[in-house]
Amino acid sequence: QQPVQSPQAVILREGEDAVINCSSSKALYSVHWYRQKHGEAPIFLMILLKGGEQKGHDKISASFNEKKQQSSLYLTASQLSYSGTYFCGTENYGQNFVFGPGTRLSVLP
């Protein structure tokens, strides 16, 4: 079951914040976040395992609400290098890893 991501696309000015959401209709074991730039392979950002877990590095962080079966990725003070498509990947209990459709983020100067 493919997770749902919102929004589909977002355009920001450098320095602005953004939130990308990922939700599943089934109970989640873990949520993975990846960023992919045009023509390149996806690059791992972080994994969240436990309900309520929050992780982050630099100005990109994420939360995992196991009860709501959703995760959110927070990008603060966005930089030009943050542009790309962000995918969440979810592991449901007993099912394969599935990627969401992606959220296209464009950061403008």
Partner 1 sequence: DTGVSQDPRHKITKRGQNVTFRCDPISEHNRLYWYRQTLGQGPEFLTYFQNEAQLEKSRLLSDRFSAERPKGSFSTLEIQRTEQGDSAMYLCASSRTGTAETQYFGPGTRLLVL
- Which chain residues interact with partner 1 by CB under 8 A? 2, 29-30, 32, 40-44, 47, 49, 87, 89, 91, 96-102
Asked if 105 and 18 touch (Cβ cutoff 8 Å), the reply is yes
Min CB(29)–partner 1 separation in Å? 6
Is the CB of 41 or the CB of 67 nearer to partner 1?
41
Sign of CA dihedral 75, 34, 8, 92: negative
One-letter amino acid of 14: E
Is the CB of 16 or the CB of 91 nearer to partner 1?
91
Min CB(89)–partner 1 separation in Å? 8
Min CB(77)–partner 1 separation in Å? 26
- Find how far residue 70's CA is from the centre of its chain: 10
Asked if 5 and 24 touch (Cβ cutoff 8 Å), the reply is no
